[in-house]
A and B are shown apart, each in its own frame.
Chain A
Amino acid sequence: MSHEEIGLFGILFAVLGGAIRVGTPFLFVSLGECLTERSGRINLGLEGNLVMGAMLAYGISYLSGSPWLGVAAAAGAGAMLGLLHALLCQQPRVNDIAVGIALMLFGTGLAFFWGKPFIQPSAPHLPSLSLGAWSDSPALRSALEINVLFIAGIVLAPLLAWFFRNARWGLNVRCAGESTEAALAMGLNVNMIRLLATMAGGALAGVGGSFLSLYYPGSWNEGLSSGQGLMAVALVIFARWDPVKCVYASLLFGGAAALGPALQSAGITWGYYLFNAAPYVLTLAIMIATSSAKRRLPGLPGVFSNLK
């Protein structure tokens, strides 16, 4: 293989690997947000859950020596923040978007405050599977070093889609999201459905955070999240509230984030600010492309139709 070929394949592997490595937190947060929004609530605070989950997972993994305990703690903390969001939003005249922003600041602030002692120590990481062991290319092997959480996310997405389509509870969630009145007429406890959906969504976002601190980049500090939690919320709109499309969207965003570094390390030195901004440009482009003053977005849960 000539030098240039290695370079081009290197970029390809790096973007592929990056799509998986960088995309996993997006995947968990977007699946969580998808579930919450399908029940008729918007939780913008998932960035807080993500950062809180990252901090707690790292701290618990460091103190207990078990990264899985850390993931469980992250899920628990995410569920608690979700519970808080749901309880606040149940009160009369409370706006879920405002509560979400407040909880985002609350979650990140609390995580920074408690996370001080964990910036320096090194905690045990989550294990990964070497799916590329058959290849003799170290670049491909590293790209196919797949973390178990990513696989869990990939399995979860079709399960969630099935849940929305076929399961009784899933249909109840959708009903609550489509029309509060219809759900009430059916005798469903809309507040309870939304509370559970927000808690479960929050827990998933917490797990996404644990991936950041316990696997990739695998360290806790205050700059760990560069807004992945917020971007994942935008990504749900892009994925049209469909869990399976969330997987593709997450991979696309992950790959976009990996593009800048990959091109530069292969020696393509122009336009790095542009390539580094690729995920944000993508978010903006999606927002512009999908907004419309006239029609309702396909897949948009009914209770949001007045939001536009």
Chain B
Amino acid sequence: MKRRTFLKGIAGAGSLAALGGAGITRAFADDKVKMGFVYVGPRDDYGYNQAHFEGKSAVAKQGWVKAFDEENVPETIEVIKTMESMINLDGAQVLFPTSFGYFPHILKIAEKYPKVMFLHCGGLWDASKHPKNVGSYFGYIDEPVYLAGIVAGHMSKTGKLGYIAAIPIPQVLRNINSFTLGARSVNPKITTNVVFTGGWANPVKEAESANSMVDQGIDVLTCHVDSPKVVVETAEKRGVMCCGYHTNQAVLAPKGFLTGAEWNWSKVYADYAEMIKGGKTIPNLVRGGIKEGIVKSSPYGAPVSDKARKHADEVRAKFMDGSMVVYKGTIKDNKGNTVIAAGKEYKQTDIWLESMDWLVEGVIGAAKS
């Protein structure tokens, strides 16, 4: 075949495909609710991205919803390309860029597409600064993390807990603090060592941190990274206990798994879909904890004592009836300053907690490097 005829052939095929493309777009131009999801990592990472993917899959089961997603999208200009193609090619009405670091990129294009709602998973949206078609949703996952802290506090023999975290942003610090406060409500002498690995997914560093922590006598490990699989498996291998995060990791550590904090995104995404279907305005800020069903605890693992279960269940009941306040004075940071004065209370809904940049007394680690 001559090169020219070959090229002609390609051009022909291309225009056919383009025609086909137009046809498809028309076929889908119906009144389905169109939702786009973007993940920073793989859909099946046993962690953060899987939790969102499970939520997307649940909402996609509704016949009147068309949900599409893309995984492994870096927190760079790439996410802008992904979002724009979801808007222009798939006709997305609402986008869920689920990673924390997507936020600045959302702001770059939000004003260009005023009819699309951009809902960011995390706490950065500010009514006074950001456009109306941007919003944020997040769960008070530190409630089940606090409960995990109580269980860890009961179960730890050495009184040393370990937290392997990605980077010191407010949500991560809040989890570390709640975990430590939960554990210290059992035994005020307990300490939590923190390692910041510097990235959301760095398996070698996570395994190395877990090993170093066990070497230092830490006997309960937990983590806030995209996929807790490596940390949970390393803890099991080294014969220490662990608490999970994002989704249920009990099967990975049958001997040492205590409990964990999980997202329940299927409910959140279903609620959004209903709002769009019903033609309601989408709220810019959606928050909720155990009570609202946005987060939950993993079932207790085999080693958890009855005493620990009972204590955690009592506090869970308090979260359910709304009487539990985690951030209640006097709370000191780990440098000795009083951050919450005696008698002062910050309820979960308090937006002040979302700018947390300190670590509570008992945490060995630094919020700023």
Q: Check if A and B associate.
A: yes
Chain A residues with a Cβ under 8 A of chain B? 6-7, 10-11, 13-14, 17-18, 21-22, 112, 116, 119-120, 122, 138-139, 142-143, 212, 216-219, 221-224, 226, 228, 257-258, 260-262, 264-267, 269-274, 276-277
Tell me, in angstroms, the Cα distance from A272 to B194 when the chains sit together. Answer: 11
Please, which residues of chain B bring their CB within 8 A of the CB of A17? Answer: 211, 215
Q: Is A262 a contact partner of B202 (Cβ separation < 8 A)?
A: no
**Contact status of A6 and B211, CB under 8 A, knowing A265-B162, A267-B364:** no
Q: Is the CB of A269 within 8 A of B366?
A: yes
- Are the CB atoms of A223 and B203 closer together than 8 Å? yes
Given the interface pairs A226-B202, A260-B205, A276-B205, the reply to whether A269 lies near B230 with Cβ below 8 Å is no
For B191, give the chain A residue with the smallest CB separation. Answer: A267
Across the interface, B215 reaches (CB within 8 A) one of A116, A138, A219, A224, namely A138
Q: Name the one of A112, A120, A218, A261 contacting B212, with C-beta atoms under 8 angstroms.
A: A261
Residues of B with C-beta under 8 A to A226: 202, 204-205
Is A261 a contact of B205 with CB atoms below 8 Å?
A: yes
Say yes or no: is B233 at the interface (Cβ < 8 Å to chain A): yes
B125 at the interface (CB under 8 A from A): no
B213 in contact (CB, < 8 A): yes
Q: List B contacts of A6 (CB < 8 A).
A: 216-217
CB atoms of A273 and B369 under 8 A apart = yes
The digit string for B195-236, where 1 denotes a CB below 8 A from any CB of A, is: 111100111111111011111111000000011011001100
User: Known contacts being A264-B194, A265-B162, A270-B369, is A217 close to B216, with CB within 8 Å?
Assistant: no
B42 close to A (CB within 8 Å): yes
B45 is an interface residue with CB less than 8 A from chain A = yes
Nearest CB to that of B164 among chain A residues?
A261
Give complex CA distance A216, B162 in Å: 20
A274 vs B196: C-alpha distance in the bound complex, in angstroms? 12
- A residues in contact with B209, CB < 8 Å: 261, 264-265
- List 5 A–B pairs whose Cβ atoms lie within 8 Å, in order of A's numbering: A18-B208, A219-B229, A265-B218, A272-B369, A276-B197
Complex Cα–Cα for A190 and B17 (A): 48
The distance in angstroms between the C-alpha atoms of A209 and B4, with both chains bound, is 45
A139, A222, A264: the one contacting B196 at CB < 8 Å is A264
CA distance A6 to B193 in the complex (A): 15
Indicate if the CB atoms of B216 and A7 lie closer than 8 Å: yes
How far, in angstroms, from A250 to B123 measured CA to CA in the complex? 42
The reply to whether B42 and A116 form a contact with Cβ atoms under 8 Å apart is: yes
Please tell me if the beta carbons of B217 and A262 are within 8 angstroms of each other in the complex.
Answer: no
Interface residues in B, total, Cβ within 8 A: 43
Partner of A218, one of B201, B207, B215: B207
Instruction: Given A6-B216, A265-B218, verify A22-B208 contact (CB < 8 Å).
Output: yes
State the main secondary structure of chain A at its contact with B. helix
Residues of A within 8 A of B230 (CB): 217-219
Partner of A10, one of B194, B207, B216: B216
B215 touches A13 (CB 8 A): yes
Besides the known contacts A14-B215, A216-B207, A226-B204, 4 further A-B residue pairs in the complex with CB atoms under 8 A apart: A10-B216, A18-B211, A217-B206, A257-B204
Give the tally of cross-chain contacts (CB within 8 A): 141
Given contacts A265-B193, A270-B369, A273-B198, contact A221 B203 (CB under 8 A): yes
Note all chain B residues with C-beta closer than 8 A to A222. 41-42, 72, 201
- Report yes or no: B229 in contact with A221, Cβ–Cβ below 8 A: yes
B307 near A: Cβ within 8 Å?
no
B204 to A217, Cβ gap below 8 A? yes
A269/B364 in contact, CB under 8 A: yes
What are the residues of chain B within 8 A of A221 when measuring CB–CB? 42, 45, 201, 203, 227, 229
Q: How far is the CA of A6 from the CA of B366 in the complex (A)?
A: 21
The answer to whether the Cβ of B277 comes within 8 Å of any Cβ in the partner chain is no
Instruction: Check B238 against A224 for contact (C-beta < 8 Å).
Output: no
Given A219-B233, A276-B197, A276-B205, verify A265-B212 contact (CB < 8 Å).
Answer: yes
Q: How far is the CA of A222 from the CA of B201 in the complex (A)?
A: 9
User: Is there contact, CB below 8 Å, between B208 and A270?
Assistant: no
Whether the pair B197, A223 counts as a contact (CB closer than 8 A) is: no
The answer to whether B218 touches A122 (Cβ under 8 A) is no
B44 within 8 A of A: yes
Q: Which 9 pairs across A and B sit closest by C-beta, in order of nearness?
A: A217-B207, A223-B201, A139-B215, A261-B209, A269-B366, A14-B212, A265-B212, A264-B195, A217-B203
Contact between A22 and B233, CB atoms less than 8 A apart: no
Min CB distance A82 to B, Å, is 24
A118 to chain B: closest residue by CB:
B44
Residues of B within 8 A of A273 (CB): 198, 369
CB distance from A113 to the nearest CB of B (A): 11
Give Cα A264 to B167, complex, Å: 13
Residue of A nearest to B234 (CB): A217
Say yes or no: is B252 at the interface (Cβ < 8 Å to chain A): yes
Find chain B residues with CB under 8 A from A21 CB.
Answer: 207-208, 211
Chain A minimum-CB-distance residue to B165: A264
B101 contacts the other chain (CB 8 A): no
- List the A residue with the shortest CB-CB distance to B217: A6
Complex Cα spacing A44 to B355, Å: 44
Question: Please, which residue of chain A has its CB at the minimum distance from the CB of B366?
Answer: A269
> What distance in Å separates the Cβ of B253 from its nearest Cβ neighbour in chain A?
10
User: Can you name the residue of chain B whose Cβ is closest to the Cβ of A217?
Assistant: B207
Q: Are B41 and A265 in contact (CB under 8 A)?
A: no
Chain A residues with Cβ below 8 Å from B208 are 14, 18, 21-22, 257-258, 261-262
A142: contacting residue among B46, B215, B227, CB under 8 A: B215
- By a CB distance below 8 angstroms, the chain A residues around B42 are 116, 119, 221-222
Interface residues of B in 13-45 (CB under 8 A from A): 41-42, 44-45
Is the pair B203, A265 in contact by a Cβ cutoff of 8 Å? no
* Known interface pairs A219-B203, A269-B366; A261-B227 also in contact (CB < 8 Å): no
B365 within 8 A of A: yes
Cα distance, A139 to B252, chains bound together (Å): 23
A272 touches B212 (CB 8 A): no
List the A residue with the shortest CB-CB distance to B334: A269
Q: Which residues of B contact A138 (CB under 8 A)?
A: 214-215
A116 touching B44, Cβ below 8 Å = yes
Q: Are B198 and A272 in contact (CB under 8 A)?
A: yes
Whose C-beta in chain B lies nearest to the C-beta of A277?
B198
